[in-house]
Structure 1
Amino acid sequence: MALAGSRFGSSKLPITRFAINLNFQILWHASNIFIFVWFFLKYHQGDEWFYLRQILGPYLALARAPAAVLNFNCCLVLLPVCRNLLVGLRYVFGCSRRIKALFDHNIKMHKKCAYMIVLMTFVHLLAHLFNVKLLTESHLSSDPLIQTLNKLDDPYLNPIRSSDVDLIVSVFVLFGGWTGVVITVALIIIITAATETIRRSFFEIFWYCHHLFVIFYAFLLIHGLKKQIRGQTNLDEHNPQNCSLVPLEWDNSVECPRPMFAGSDPGTWKWVIGPVALYFFERIIRLSRSFNPTQVVKVIFHPSRVIEIQMHRQRWCFGQNKNEVGEYIFLNCRELALFEWHPFTLTSAPEEDFLSVHIRSAGDWTNNLYDLFTKRLESGDITNAPRLAIDGPFGAASQDVFDYEVSICVGAGIGITPFGSLLKSVYYKKANGIPMKLEKIYLIWICPTYNSFEWFSDLVAKLTQKLESINELDVLDLRIYLSRGWDDKFARVKDESELDPVTGLRQKTNYGRPDWSKLFSEFSKTHNGRTNGVFVCGPKVISTQLRENCMQFTDGSTKFVFNKENF
């Protein structure tokens, strides 16, 4: 399973990084507010829209302002998922670690823009439903001005030419109405399939539904093609503030000739053409990689249907041929699905000459992949292994683990995966005498059940032996918590054994959930006066508890910097 980083700050975070993140968030929110207010005032006060406001009232501005914010965020939402573009910016321009952190939080920004798109679509939709209702009912108005405006034919102001239709029919009669319905339905499906439950349990549904963005953008581009929102074009000849008082004299007045109306040219394409082109280029890169699969050099079948796949390390674009700890890649197996790309965290260290992932059979695609490898490798000939294509690697927040003297890494369930790469890298740095700022790692592993993660205990066992062989075992403090599947009798057995009966490690398993206050109190006393990095990959409830403890135990010169991975 892949990870995409996000870091949540507080006023107690290091000032530079906090300032960069805060300023970026302020800029985005301020831009949305500015665009909304600008376009609201334009349609609410502009003389060009005076006559349309006589029919629609404030709902004209309430529809157009969200549309502008919608365009802005539809422009931005694609950029964070242009991952190769972000890799290029990171490595071509040599950004600092703090700036790179913004790129590594791409999914967080993608979600923020998506939430704003949903909100603005909802407001835009409601306002236009009122607009359609008002346009339809205006044919029954007794106001001379409204009657005159509705009778205008060439050019017209009211796109609904009759009152003999109901609201639903009116929506689908208008080109902007039925295309808006298609856009909204596509968005609802995309957002629903992107919920955490569906994304984790039914990734294929999430993957394919997310590609409805093609329909979303296609209909967004043509949504305003018929120019059905019309403004006045002859303001120099016809002053609406004065002439609206004498609508019955328009045809016979020199001072107040008939007002002329026209719709504005569609402007959405100006907002989205650049990001769409970049994303199209991104997909071309991914498609080209699907036809250039990497070589599988080793496959290890672990218990509980976990498969470890080691692949030849390739040189990617921008000269990037070395990954960092905690990064993730997308894998494609053309034999299973030509267009499906699935994200997985790298468990290999940057110092190793191969890339490796550990894949647990937890869905249709992963189960099929496991079965395919099992069938192909029955003879033991690695050349028979299925060919896999790689897109990536891409960054994650855990890359910053080496920026601290003390790092506290918390992994819950499958969230332990990114720390496998970290532990390996620490060993290689220690073994090769490479100086590093990191002096101590606390690895807190919370297992709901142990069976699915035997592979990680094997990895830890081998690494602890290697660290012990070079007298560097003190760098790692492993704490394991088994939250389910045990009883008091089983817990007593572990105290009587030299090795833990669950993991086979020297570090004994704790039964139950961690007492975070107790742990942070210990860390605060042991590492008083230091800035400690806290990295968590797991459910939201654990992240919330850790963030609260980071803030609570940050005091004076002792700081706990909270970093979160989303998976």
Structure 2
Amino acid sequence: MQQNIQGGINQSSSPTPQFLLASATCLNFNCMLILLPVSRNLISFIRGTNICCRGALRRQLDKNLTFHKIVAYGIAVNAIIHIVAHLVNVERYHISQSKEAGGLRNKLSGIGKTANESYLNPIRNYEVNPTTQILTTIAGVTGVIITVAFILIMTSSTEIIRRSFYEVFWYTHHLFMVFFIGLVIHGMGSRVAQSLEHAQLPCGGDTCIAWSCVAAVYFYWTCRDASAFEWFADLLFLLETQMAEKGKTHFLSYHIFLTGWDESQATHIALHDDEKMDVITGLRQKTFYGRPNWDTEFRQIAENHPSNSIGVFFCGPKALSKILQKRCNLYSSADPRGVQFHYNKESF
């Protein structure tokens, strides 16, 4: 829930939250590693065990300082990514409080204005300075402290400083205590959105569909061989029965296209065309033969849902993926209040 809500404020098309979380994870891992190669007692203990009694493994312990430096460089790179992502995020949070941000981002940013309600957007007002506003948060203050401490540690670790002013190198390295204390407190400043459950809609039972905003599902499956549908036919039949029992026959609409049929199958299909159940799948909805006309399908769905947001989820070959993505852009209305197709591709 936290990622979904933050994605709404930061515009879900932006990769900034992903960079922010990925760099934070790498920072946590590298900060855990960086002290291990300079722990003399640990190195001595490993030398005395049978784990690396001889050979190449023992020689690797002599490169502990090299490993320490490599990890420090990794922290520096991820810290830069993390800081830049935070700066971009702050700007997006600030813009979300403006009238031009759009309805969804304005509503999400407005959460927390009533008493005893936690907020999602740390920038509470568009007129405030976002930099000073962030510095009033725990994450902002500790972020500045650990960044300054790390810069002092890194700059004093250069070879020139170590050789000419070793005392500077020695004392600034003791800032690692400030760095790690600030790092722990920095993580405590993260915001986790509370999961809310509507008391009048218990999960499960006949009300499970009411949990989502999905109005209808259009399922398209294209395959060459009829045998590929056999394992899935039972599941579709079960869904078909459940929707009929709940009076939601129009909620699920599936379209199965068979592209590899032959003349004998065509004859068999023609003889049983008047039957209520499909001869291939045994379902109420009949199987189509050939490839779907995507222009017709998208146009029909757009006419059925003229002012809705429609998610298109695809798994399959790249060539078809490009076709569907172009159709999503083509049939999406230029008016934000009109129909909008949002393309999503999944790979297995």
Band the TM-score falls in, shorter-chain normalisation: 0.5 to 0.7
SS at match of 1:180: helix
Unmatched 5+ residue regions in structure 2? 198-202, 216-348
Aligned to 2:169: 206
TM-score (norm 2): 0.53
Q: Is 2:155 the counterpart of 1:192?
A: yes
**Contact 2:123 2:130 (C-alpha < 8 Å) held by counterparts:** no
Deviations 1:483-511 (A, max 9, x none): xxxxxxxxxxxxxxxxxxxxxxxxxxxxx
Q: Is 2:26 the counterpart of 1:69?
A: yes
Q: Which amino acid aligns with 1:145?
A: L
Which of 123, 127, 144 matches 1:164? 127
Deviation, structure 1 residue 123: 0.5
More deviation, 130-139/152-161: 152-161
Deviation, structure 1 residue 58: 2.0
Aligned to 1:145: 104
Q: Is 2:13 the counterpart of 1:52?
A: no
Deviations 1:61-96 (A, max 9, x none): 111110100000001000000112111111132622
Aligned to 1:434: none
In the aligned structure 1, how far is the partner of 2:150 from the partner of 2:99?
Answer: 36
In the aligned structure 2, how far is the partner of 1:239 from the partner of 1:211?
Answer: 54
Aligned to 1:123: 81
Give the alignment of 1:209-248 within 5 angstroms: 209-228=172-191, 230-231=192-193, 233-234=195-196
Deviation, structure 1 residue 133: 1.4
Q: Which amino acid aligns with 2:189?
A: K
Which has the larger strand fraction?
A: 1
Closer/same/farther in 2, CA of residues 206 and 242 from structure 1, 3 Å limit: farther
Closer/same/farther in 2, CA of residues 97 and 241 from structure 1, 3 Å limit: farther
**Contact 1:132 1:170 (C-alpha < 8 Å) held by counterparts:** no
Unmatched 5+ residue regions in structure 1? 1-46, 244-567
Deviation, structure 1 residue 231: 4.2
Query: Highest relative contact order (Cα 8 Å, sep 6+), 1 or 2?
Result: 1
Q: Is 2:49 the counterpart of 1:92?
A: yes
Q: Which amino acid aligns with 1:91?
A: G
Give the alignment of 1:495-514 within 5 angstroms: none
Aligned to 1:408: none
In the aligned structure 2, how far is the partner of 1:194 from the partner of 1:161?
Answer: 41
In the aligned structure 2, how far is the partner of 1:120 from the partner of 1:241?
Answer: 38
Q: Which amino acid aligns with 1:199?
A: R
Q: State percent identity of aligned pairs.
A: 38
In the aligned structure 1, how far is the partner of 2:122 from the partner of 2:131?
Answer: 15
Deviation, structure 1 residue 234: 4.0
Q: How many residues align?
A: 196
Deviation, structure 1 residue 150: 1.3
- Give the CA RMSD over aligned residues: 2.3
Q: Which amino acid aligns with 2:25?
A: A
Give the alignment of 1:286-325 within 5 angstroms: none
SS at match of 2:188: coil
In the aligned structure 2, how far is the partner of 1:169 from the partner of 1:87?
Answer: 48
Deviation, structure 1 residue 98: 1.2
Closer/same/farther in 2, CA of residues 224 and 234 from structure 1, 3 Å limit: same
SS at match of 1:147: helix
In the aligned structure 1, how far is the partner of 2:136 from the partner of 2:127?
Answer: 12
Deviations 1:438-474 (A, max 9, x none): xxxxxxxxxxxxxxxxxxxxxxxxxxxxxxxxxxxxx
